[in-house]
């Protein structure tokens, strides 16, 4: 589903701009960005419980897409369908399609898929290893053996995560010695070390203070030229700050998907407005 | 009701109170001109300070809510519209005060015999202000739209009045001073109509999220 705005209720007023991914000229519209991932008619079940209903959503390449909504609305479930990590939960199934570059993720080797579609979780989860080994782990698993290559990759990844200056003199120290914000940036650096095409983030800043949150957000801006980013967040200000497009989920349905500016300035659906203005429930 | 919603209601009430003050100032200043009533003109001038104070209080309240509540969507549109409407109301208060000054000046000259219906022009402008405030109260974009349509009539009356006054001054040079005062009266009324139009545009943006400024073609 392209970000778009439904018609205003009254014919007396002009409808808002219909957003096309290839449109140009209009201010603030996504321009010339292909769909990197796409969900089509996606229904997801935990056993007999249906968690997602007919989701159609397009993740534009090199954009930050935020997913917002109340707890239990299905946004994290949706995120986890993008790299099939839901399959680690027994009893789950889905119908419909999730496409990466137009190819159904179901038909892809799951390890290869997760290399292309990396993930960072709410709680930072560094390996009980050194800082260096945390970053080098992925490249090593993927066959990188040269010490020099690994050093270059570790430095590049830590620089991309804006962590290099803080840890360059203690690469052999345990990752657990880092602060919470640093550990989360380490996890992003670790995910970035294998050059994923898509990075999924599930509430990456929920345990961080505003300074650490700002660093993560700046990091997302700096890597989006190389990576397509999807972020689930409860922090609506964060979605407003970082995302190009935002989807609002409620009760397993995608209520509205549009440019972030429209979601927070003039949403089309009453449910979205009630949620973003805090009138929900 | 959420605390923020209560604060928004309080702000709305305050802006409507200010609207009432400006409405009264406008009505009195027009009557002061038409009825040559010095007492009314004096009352308008005395009331200006209260309108200015109210403007600052409303600005302060909006700024506080923007900072503390970080509003979005319709709450944000409401607050940005209130900021603009507040400025328009204060300017209308200034213009009403200007009318009162002109009323005092005009009392120094004999009334001019002109075919200008100031009563009609002022009732149109007063009605625009009233409708803008009603539209704001009810968040009614359609009522606001009617205000925009009235502005053309006010502009036409102003144009005709200018012609009438200038022609009179050309043939009656002794009346030039009074004529100039009267031109300012007409101009102030027309400017008040413009500010009522701005307010109505603010209401449309607040209610519908549509910016109709400088683009009346977007209206049906």
The answer to the question of residue A16 being in a domain is: no
E-assigned strands of A22-153?
A: 35-46, 49-60, 64-68, 92-100, 103-104, 117-120
Mean pLDDT, residues B74-94: 96
Answer whether residue A19 shows pLDDT above 90. Answer: no
DSSP type of residue B112: P
Q: Which residues in chain A touch residue B209, judged by CB atoms under 8 angstroms apart?
A: 16, 265-266
Three-state DSSP class for A225?
coil
Q: A185 pLDDT band (50/70/90 cuts)?
A: very high
Q: A-side interface with B, Cβ within 8 Å?
A: 8, 10-14, 16, 236-237, 240, 264-267, 272-273, 276-279
pLDDT value at residue B1: 66
Phi-psi region of A7 (alpha: psi -120 to 50; beta: other; left: phi over 0): beta
- Which residues in chain B (89-148) have CB-CB distances under 8 A to chain A? 141-142, 145
Closest Cβ–Cβ partner in B5, B72, B210 for A13? B210
Average pLDDT, rounded, for chain B: 94
Q: The CATH number of the domain where A231 resides is what? A: 3.40.50.300
Task: Find all residues with CB under 8 Å of B17, minimum gap 6, and list them.
Answer: B54
Look at the block and give the residue holding tokens 């002794």: B174
Residue A39 has pLDDT above 80, yes or no: yes
Q: Decide if A12 is inside a domain.
A: no
Crossing angle of helices B118-138 and B3-35, in 10° steps, is 180
| A129-140 average pLDDT score | 95
pLDDT band per the 50, 70, 90 thresholds, residue A7: very low
Q: How confident is the model over A200-215, as a mean pLDDT?
A: 88
Q: Residue A4: what pLDDT?
A: 45
* Predicted pLDDT of residue B214: 82
Domain count, chain A: 1
Asked whether residue A243 is domain-assigned, the answer is yes
Joined tokens for residue B70: 């970080």
Residue A28 has pLDDT above 70, yes or no: no
Which of A6, A266, A268, A275 has the most B C-beta neighbours within 10 Å, making it the best mutation to test the interface with B? Answer: A266
Name residue, tokens 């796409």: A38
Is residue A79 one of the residues assigned to a domain?
yes
Kindly tell me if the per-residue pLDDT of A30 is higher than 80: no
pLDDT value of position B2: 78
What is the Cα–Cα distance from A147 to A25, expressed in whole angstroms?
48
CA angle A27, A30, A35 (to 5 degrees): 170
Looking at the partner chain, which of B5, B145, B218 has a beta carbon nearest the beta carbon of A14? B218
Cα–Cα distances in angstroms (integers) from residue A48 to residues A43, A45, A88, A98, in the given order: 12, 6, 17, 21
Tell if the CB–CB gap between B209 and A266 is shorter than 8 Å: yes
Is CATH 2.40.50.140 correct for B3-218? no
The domain of A79 spans: 35-123+197-276
- In the block, tokens 């650490």 appear at A212
> Sorting pLDDT into bands at 50, 70 and 90, what band is A21?
very low
- B6 part of contact set with chain A, CB < 8 Å: no
Instruction: Decide if A250 contacts A73 (C-beta within 8 A).
Output: yes
Whether the predicted interface score ipTM is above 0.95: no
- The three-class DSSP label of residue A41 is strand
pLDDT of B21 above 90: yes
Q: Is the pLDDT of residue A25 over 80?
A: no
pLDDT in tens, B165-201: 999 999 999 999 999 999 999 999 999 999 999 999 9
Asked whether residue B29 carries a pLDDT value surpassing 90, the answer given is yes
Quote the mean pLDDT of chain A: 87
Rounded Cα distance between A258 and A13, Å, is 19
Q: Does the pLDDT of residue B84 top 80, yes or no?
A: yes
Q: Which of B49, B56, B127 is nearest to B86 (CA)?
A: B56
pLDDT of residue A281 exceeding 90: no
Region of A3 please: left (phi>0), alpha (psi -120 to 50) or beta. beta
Residues constituting chain A: 281
* Average confidence (pLDDT) over B92-97: 98
Strand partners, A228: A198
Contacts of B208 in chain A (CB under 8 A): 8, 10, 13
Query: Which residues lie below 8 Å from residue A90, measured CB to CB, with a gap of 6+?
Result: none
Residues B137/B16, Cβ–Cβ less than 8 Å: yes
Of the candidates A10, A13, A276, the beta carbon closest to that of B73 is on: A276
Residue A181, in any domain of the structure: no
Say if A17 falls within a structural domain: no
Subunit contact B73:A264, Cβ cutoff 8 A: yes
Q: Give me B83's structure tokens.
A: 């900021």
Banded pLDDT at A155 (limits 50, 70, 90): very high
Structure tokens at A55: 């989701």
């Amino acid at each position: 589903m392209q970000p778009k705005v439904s018609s205003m209720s009254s014919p007396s007023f002009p409808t808002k701009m219909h957003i096309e991914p290839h449109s140009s000229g209009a201010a603030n519209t996504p321009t010339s960005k292909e769909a990197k991932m796409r969900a089509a008619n996606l229904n997801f079940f935990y056993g007999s419980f249906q968690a997602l209903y007919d989701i159609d959503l397009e993740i534009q390449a090199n954009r930050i897409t935020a997913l917002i909504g109340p707890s239990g609305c299905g946004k994290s479930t949706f995120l986890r369908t993008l790299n099939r990590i839901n399959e680690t939960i027994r009893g789950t199934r889905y119908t419909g399609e999730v496409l990466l570059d137009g190819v159904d993720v179901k038909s892809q080797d799951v390890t290869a898929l997760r290399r292309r579609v990396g993930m960072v979780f709410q709680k930072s989860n560094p390996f009980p290893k050194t800082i260096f080994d945390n970053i080098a782990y992925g490249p090593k698993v993927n066959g990188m053996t040269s010490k020099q290559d690994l050093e270059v990759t570790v430095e590049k990844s830590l620089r991309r995560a804006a962590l290099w200056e803080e840890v360059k003199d203690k690469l052999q120290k345990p990752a657990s010695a880092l602060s919470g914000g640093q550990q989360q940036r380490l996890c992003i650096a670790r995910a970035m070390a294998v050059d994923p095409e898509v990075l999924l983030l599930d509430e990456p800043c929920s345990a961080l203070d505003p300074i650490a949150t700002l660093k993560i957000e700046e990091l997302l801006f700096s890597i989006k030229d190389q990576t397509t980013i999807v972020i689930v967040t409860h922090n609506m200000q964060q979605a407003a700050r970082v995302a190009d497009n935002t989807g609002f989920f409620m009760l397993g349905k995608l209520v509205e998907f549009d440019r972030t500016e429209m979601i927070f300035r003039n949403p089309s659906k009453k449910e979205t407005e009630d949620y973003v203005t805090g009138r929900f429930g | 009701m959420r605390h923020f919603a209560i604060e928004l209601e309080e702000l709305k009430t305050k802006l409507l109170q200010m609207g009432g003050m400006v409405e009264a100032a406008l009505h009195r200043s027009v009557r002061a001109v038409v009825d040559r009533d010095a007492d009314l003109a004096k009352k308008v001038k005395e009331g200006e300070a209260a309108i200015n104070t109210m403007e600052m209080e409303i600005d302060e309240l909006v700024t506080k809510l923007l900072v503390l509540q970080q509003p979005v969507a319709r709450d944000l549109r409401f607050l940005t519209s209130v900021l603009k409407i507040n400025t328009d109301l204060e300017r209308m208060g200034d213009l009403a005060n200007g009318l009162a000054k002109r009323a005092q000046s005009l009392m120094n000259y004999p009334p001019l015999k002109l075919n200008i219906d100031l009563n009609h022009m002022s009732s149109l402008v007063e009605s625009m202000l009233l409708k803008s405030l009603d539209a704001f109260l009810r968040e009614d974009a359609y009522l606001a739209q009617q205000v925009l349509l009235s502005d053309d009539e006010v502009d036409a009356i102003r144009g005709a009045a200018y012609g009438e006054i200038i022609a009179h001054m050309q043939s009656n040079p002794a009346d030039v001073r009074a004529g100039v005062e009267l031109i300012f009266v007409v101009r102030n009324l027309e400017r008040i109509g413009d500010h009522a139009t701005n307010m109505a545009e603010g209401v449309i943006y607040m209610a519908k999220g549509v910016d109709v400024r400088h683009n009346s073609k977007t209206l049906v």
